[in-house]
Structure 1
Amino acid sequence: MTTISDHDAYIASAPEQFRPLLSGLRAQLARTLPDAEEVIEYGMPGFRIGRSIIASYAAFTKQCGLYLSPGAITELAEEIAVAGLKATKTGITFRASNPIPEALVEQLVLSSRKDVGL
């Protein structure tokens, strides 16, 4: 199994149809969390401040995921549902045909940051 060392390598290894989506999501996360460090944790690219991962993302065969604190998912559950997205306790899955709206990504990331006490 190949070890992914950074965000660029992760995106390059993702299914081709998701690469532009992941690149855009990465850029938005970096803008929203300018003081965060880009890391690879649990095999996924993420953004960490101190010891806390604020947001991570991943690509799978048929969909992508954005992973945040449970409090962020709970706080914005209605907005997630209105956007037609599926959520778990810590993540939101989405397809290239129905990405997470940028405004919602920003709300989720800021809520996740607040939820972890930063």
Structure 2
Amino acid sequence: MATFADHDAYIAAAPEALRPLLDFVRARLAQALPDAQELIQYNMPGFAAQGLVIAGYGAFSKQCGLYVSKGAISAYSDDIAAAGLKASKTGVTFSPTRPMSEDLIAALALASRKELGV
């Protein structure tokens, strides 16, 4: 398994078809969380504040995931379902054929931050 020094290296190593989605998610998270720091934790890119990871994202063979707090997923479960996306307790998967909107990315990131209190 490769290890990544930063978000750029992670995105560059992802499947080519998913790179634009990862760039989009990264940019939207950076915009929604302007004072959060980029980090790589558990070999995945994320954004943290006060030592807590607010949101992370990743790529798999055919889809991407956005990972936030359980409360953020719960708070936006109707929006996630309405977008036709699948959610777990702490993540939402999306793909090039079914991307996540920038509004939903921001809403999930801000809800995660609020739940974490950072």
TM, length-normalised to structure 2: 0.97
Higher relative contact order (CA 8 A, sep 6+): 2
1:8 aligns with 8
Aligned residues: 118
Q: CA deviation at 1:2?
A: 2.4
1:64 aligns with 64
CA RMSD of aligned residues (A): 0.7
Q: Is the aligned partner of 1:96 residue 2:96?
A: yes
Letter in 1 for 2:47: F
CA distance in 2, matches of 1:95, 1:21: 8
Equivalent positions of 1:21-40 (< 5 A) are 21-40=21-40
1:52 aligns with 52
What are structure 1's unaligned runs of at least 5 residues? Answer: none
- Find the residue that maps to 2:117 and give its secondary structure: coil
Deviations 1:69-114, CA, capped at 9 Å, x for gaps:
0000001100000000000000001111111111111111110000
CA distance in 2, matches of 1:44, 1:97: 23
Deviations 1:35-81, CA, capped at 9 Å, x for gaps:
00000001100000011100000000011000000000001100000
CA distance in 1, matches of 2:12, 2:115: 31
CA distance in 1, matches of 2:87, 2:6: 26
Q: CA deviation at 1:3?
A: 1.4
CA distance in 2, matches of 1:43, 1:2: 8
Letter in 1 for 2:43: G
